[in-house]
A = this chain, B = another copy of it.
Amino acid sequence: KTNFKIAVLPGDGIGPEVVGESIKILEAIAEAFHYKFEFKYGLMGAEAIYKTGNPLPDETLQICKESDAVLFGAIGDPSFDNNPDAKVRPEQGLLKLRKELGLFANIRPLKTYSSLIEKSPLKKEIIEGTDIQIFRELVSGIYFGEKFTDDEAGYAYDICKYNRDEISPIVHMAFQEAQKRRKKLTLIDKANVLDTSRLWRKVCKEIATEYPEVELDFMFVDNAAMQLILNPKQFDVIVTENMFGDIISDEASVIGGSIGLLPSASIGNGNALFEPIHGSYPQAKGKGIANPIASILSTAMMLDYLKLDQAAEKLRQSVEHAIENKYVTVDLNAEQPYSTGEVGSFIADFI
Smallest Cβ-Cβ distance to A166: which chain B residue: B155
The minimal Cβ–Cβ distance linking A66 to chain B, given in whole angstroms, is: 28
List the B side residues contacting A230 at CB < 8 Å: 121, 254
Known contacts A121-B126, A229-B121, A254-B229, A159 near B160 by CB under 8 Å: yes
- CB-CB under 8 A from A191, the residues of chain B are 81, 84
Asked if A184 CB lies within 8 Å of chain B CBs, one says no
- A251 proximal to B (CB < 8 A): yes
Q: Which of the residues B76, B123, B160 comes within 8 Å of A158, measured between beta carbons?
A: B160
* Chain B hits for A143, CB < 8 A: 193
Q: Which of B80, B154, B244, B253 contacts A163 (CB 8 A)?
A: B154
CA of A159 to CA of B195, assembled, Å: 10
Of A33-41, A104-112, A220-228, A342-350, the one contacting chain B is A220-228
Asked if residues A198 and B250 are in contact (CB atoms below 8 Å), the reply is: no
The reply to whether the CB of A142 lies closer than 8 angstroms to some CB of chain B is yes
CB distance from A293 to the nearest CB of B (A): 17
Task: Given A156-B161, A163-B154, verify A226-B254 contact (CB < 8 Å).
Answer: yes
Q: Does A314 contact B (CB under 8 A)?
A: no
- Distance (Å) between the CB of A146 and the closest chain B CB? 9
Q: Which of B82, B160, B226, B254 is A142 in contact with, Cβ under 8 Å?
A: B160
Copy count, this protein chain: 2
Query: In the assembled complex, which residues on chain B have CB atoms less than 8 Å from the CB atom of A248?
Result: 225
Complex: A229 Cα to B159 Cα, angstroms = 30
- The 8 A CB mask of A187-231 against B (1 = contact, 0 = none) is 000111111101101100100000000000010111101100111
CB of A147 within 8 Å of the partner chain: yes
A 247-268 to B, binary, CB cutoff 8 A, 1 in contact else 0? 1111101100001000000000
A243 sits at the interface (CB 8 A): yes
How distant is the Cα of A145 from the Cα of B122 in the complex, in angstroms? 37
CB distance from A51 to the nearest CB of B (A): 20
B259 touches A226 (CB 8 A): yes
Q: Tell me the complex Cα distance, A142–B250, Å.
A: 22
Interface residues of A (CB under 8 A from B): 76, 80-82, 84-85, 89, 91, 95, 121-123, 126, 142-143, 145, 147-149, 153-165, 190-196, 198-199, 201-202, 205, 218, 220-223, 225-226, 229-231, 243-244, 246-251, 253-254, 259, 279
Give 5 A-B pairs besides A91-B192, A143-B193, A229-B229 with Cβ atoms closer than 8 angstroms. A82-B218, A91-B193, A121-B229, A142-B194, A156-B199
Q: Could you show 17 A-B contacts with beta carbons less than 8 Å apart?
A: A76-B192, A84-B205, A89-B192, A121-B122, A121-B126, A122-B229, A145-B157, A155-B164, A156-B162, A157-B160, A157-B161, A158-B160, A159-B159, A222-B247, A222-B249, A226-B254, A229-B254
